[in-house]
Amino acid sequence: MDHRQQRRRAHQHGGQSWKSITSDAAGGRSSGNPYQAKNGYWYLGTANGLWRGKDDGFRWELVPDTGTWGQYVPGRHTDRYLSTSSGFRSSPASDGLHWIDMPGSHKSFTACTTDYDRDHHLLYVSCLDQGLWRMRTH
C-alpha cells in the first residue's frame, strides 16, 4: 500500500488507527511542531536530532550530525536554522541535509525555544540557562 492509499485509509477510519512511522530512537520528545518546507520535506526536531520526512510524512530519516535537543526554525526564504544543545546551525533552504555551525551562538543544556520574525529578519532564542537572545539574519 503506497502512502496515498494509507492516508485515504486513515481518513476513512476517522483517525481511529495509528501507525508508528519511526523507530523508538526518534527521541520521544519533539521540540516544536513539524514544518513542511517548499521542497516537500517535513522537518521535526527531537531530543536525538533533526528528523526529515517525505511522502507526506510517511517515511522519516534522522539527518546526520544535527546534535541533540534540536528545534527546527524556518527562517528566511534562503536559510533554515536549527537550535541544538551545542549551538545554532544553519542550512540553505534548498538543502536541509547539511548543517553548519553558526559562530558565537549559545550553548545550552537543552535546546532553546526559538522563533523567527520574517518581516524584520530576526531570530529569537530563549534559553532556560542563557536568557533571551536575538540575532539579525540579513
Give residue-wise pLDDT tens across range 73-114: 777 677 888 888 788 888 888 888 999 888 877 776 565 778
* Nearest-angstrom CA–CA distance, 19 and 39: 25
* Nearest-angstrom CA–CA distance, 53 and 59: 5
Task: Tell me whether residue 21 is exposed, middle or buried, using C-beta atoms within 10 angstroms of its C-beta: 0 to 12, 13 to 18, 19 or more.
Answer: middle
54 vs 105, higher pLDDT: 54
Give me the half-sphere count of Cα atoms (radius 13 Å) on the Cβ side of residue 86: 12
DSSP state of 10: H
pTM score: 0.71
